[in-house]
Structure 1
Amino acid sequence: DKVDYTQALKISERLLQCHYQEEKFAGVGFINNFKKEFNENTLKIFRSWIEQYCHNWAFCDSFCINVIGPFLGKFRPKIQT
């Protein structure tokens, strides 16, 4: 069976909750595979992930480059400053 976007978000968050950086990075890489599915509601989820799991520069860099970057690339014209 294929994993859908909702399941991918749950799997990724579960990996982000792990103590080992490698597992957190796996969560980042996994959700990046679903970047075509990112939608405007995804920003709320990503914001909560940053608040809860972004505790060191390595994770923050990986998350911003691999998740937030593609999100902004997709929605940049719609984001108001």
Structure 2
Amino acid sequence: KIEQIDIKKEISYPSKYKNNNMDIYTPKVEKKKLPILFWMHGGAYVGGDKNDCRDYLEYLCSDTQQIIVNIDYERSPEAKHP
């Protein structure tokens, strides 16, 4: 774990589907305004998990000094389209 960032884990967001949690990575810096990057894991909506890239996102947050919102979502076949 990189010490120069704060991580808030498993924050739920409203949706009609399950598995809607996000993690927010915030660099420990003095700036009041920081860019925000929204990250959706890969997996073609049938696989993967927000935790698959956790180490990379910690590094990215620390290195680029931006807030990263890493979201999880319900995957197919549980989530039907439309």
TM-score band w.r.t. shorter chain: under 0.3
Q: TM-score, normalised by structure 2?
A: 0.28
> Which is richer in strand?
2
Larger Rg: 2
> Which is richer in helix?
1
Q: TM-score, normalised by structure 1?
A: 0.28
**Larger RCO (alpha carbons 8 Å, 6+ apart):** 2
